């Protein structure tokens, strides 16, 4: 694999998948720009060989303009962006204030939109890559994390549209779709949950929320140690950035999650095809599926 590539900007590089992505790319010799939310992480990341760090908030247009200026001043251009910054909100949507719903979409969806649109001029020059963190929850709607699930459905559509629209400039947009893996997302949500103790006591979903509140002081639960480490996710990010012919979607999941994703997509197909004037018969549906499987095998 050639290492003749320009720098890649990774958002949400403070912890978890973002941090591991920066460390792995840098160790492989790829120039990496680590975008962090907490400025206290800049010194440690910048000490890594091949890494330069900058603090910015993906919800703040002024911060993103600062990043663009910073990249221009460094003078090495930009080959790719990894839209990794993300948050969740563990709460039933029907009981969620609009501000909480907006908070998640503002980071997970609008943050991707802001950052990507800002750096596209660099990527046009390098015929680069846009790699965006989706989720299995962007395929299967997930209760109790509704805002997160909505954001991941939307961000996958956004990435597909970027891929359609930017292909004329030689830019490829790719979605990474992890199943359940170890990450910092639950731990990052814990302080907000602690502030919602009164809401929890009054919630109609107290039984469903109980495991969250019972484990707010359980580091193993919050760090999701029961799941696989995110190494395969990082490998997929690197493949999406640097392989000659990347896939448009990388599902990084265990056998159970993979089967669940496929089953849900077949369910959606069946629902779309259910009892209407132009319903397609099973034989034709099988033919259409075979055509797509052959195309992407």
pLDDT in tens, 34-74: 999 999 999 999 999 999 999 999 999 999 999 999 999 99
Q: Within this chain, do residues 193 and 270 fall inside the same structural domain, yes or no?
A: no
Same domain, 158 and 278: no
In this predicted structure, the answer to whether residue 183 has a pLDDT above a threshold of 90 is no
Q: Are residues 206 and 296 in the same domain?
A: no
Number of domains observed in the structure of the chain: 2
Q: Which of 7-21, 94-108, 169-183, 213-227 has the lowest mean pLDDT?
A: 213-227
pLDDT of 4 strictly over 80: no
263/249 same-domain check? no
**Residues 276 and 156 both lie in one domain:** no
Q: 67: domain range? A: 8-253
For the segment 4-25, the average pLDDT, to the nearest whole number, is 95
What sign for the dihedral angle of Cα 73, 49, 128, 12? negative
| Residue 234 belongs to a domain | yes
Determine, yes or no, domain membership for 2.
no
Strands 249-252 and 32-36, how do they pair?
Answer: unpaired
**pLDDT band for position 186 (cuts 50, 70, 90):** confident
pLDDT at 1 over 70: no
User: In DSSP terms, which residues pair with 32 in a beta bridge?
Assistant: 8, 51
pLDDT tens column, 127-172: 999 999 999 999 999 999 999 999 999 999 999 999 999 999 999 9
Residues 229 and 283 in one domain: no
Same domain, 86 and 146: yes
Residue 171: what pLDDT? Answer: 98
**Tokens describing residue 62:** 């002024």
Query: Is residue 257 predicted with pLDDT exceeding 50?
Result: yes
* 148 carries an active-site annotation: yes
| Residue 1 placed within a domain | no
Q: Are strands 8-10 and 32-36 parallel, antiparallel or unpaired?
A: parallel
Residue 292 domain-assigned (yes or no): yes
Report the pLDDT averaged over residues 259-276. Answer: 96
| Active-site position among 30, 33, 148, 162 | 148
Give me 119's structure tokens: 């750096």
Residues 249 and 276 both lie in one domain = no
Say what the pTM is.
0.94
Q: In this structure, are 48 and 61 located in the same domain?
A: yes
Report the pLDDT value the prediction gives residue 2, as an integer from 0 to 100: 43
Alpha carbon distance 284, 290 (integer Å): 10
Mean pLDDT of the 115-130 span: 98
Same domain as 128, residue 44: yes
Q: What is the mean pLDDT of residues 213-227?
A: 87
Q: Which two tokens stand for residue 12?
A: 């949400």
What is the pLDDT at residue 221? 86
Q: State the chain's mean pLDDT as an integer.
A: 95
């Amino acid at each position: 694999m050639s290492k003749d590539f320009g720098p890649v900007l990774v958002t949400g590089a403070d912890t978890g998948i973002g941090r591991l992505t920066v460390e792995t790319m840098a160790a492989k010799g790829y120039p990496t720009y680590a975008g962090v939310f907490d400025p206290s992480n800049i010194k440690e990341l910048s000490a890594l060989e091949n890494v330069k760090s900058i603090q910015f908030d993906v919800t703040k247009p002024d911060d993103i303009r600062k990043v663009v200026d910073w990249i221009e001043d460094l003078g090495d251009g930009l080959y790719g962006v990894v839209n990794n910054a993300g948050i969740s909100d563990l709460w039933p949507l029907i009981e969620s204030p609009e501000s909480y719903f907006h908070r998640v979409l503002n980071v997970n969806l609008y943050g991707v939109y802001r950052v990507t649109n800002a750096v596209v001029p660099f990527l046009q020059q390098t015929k680069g890559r846009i790699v965006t963190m989706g989720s299995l929850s962007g395929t299967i709607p997930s209760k109790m994390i509704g805002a997160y699930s909505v954001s991941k459905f939307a961000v996958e559509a956004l990435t597909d549209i970027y891929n359609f629209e930017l292909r004329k400039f030689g830019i490829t947009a790719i979605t990474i779709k992890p199943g359940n893996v170890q990450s910092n997302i639950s731990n990052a949500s814990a302080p907000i949950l602690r502030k919602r103790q009164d809401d929890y006591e009054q919630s109609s979903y107290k039984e469903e929320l109980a495991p969250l509140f019972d484990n707010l002081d359980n580091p193993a639960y919050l760090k999701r140690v029961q799941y696989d480490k995110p190494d395969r996710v990082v490998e997929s990010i690197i493949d999406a950035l640097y392989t000659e012919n990347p896939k448009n979607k990388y599902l990084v999941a265990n056998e159970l999650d993979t089967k669940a994703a496929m089953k849900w997509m077949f369910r959606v197909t069946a629902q779309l095809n259910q009892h209407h004037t132009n319903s397609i018969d099973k034989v034709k549906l099988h033919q259409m599926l075979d055509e797509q499987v052959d195309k992407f095998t």
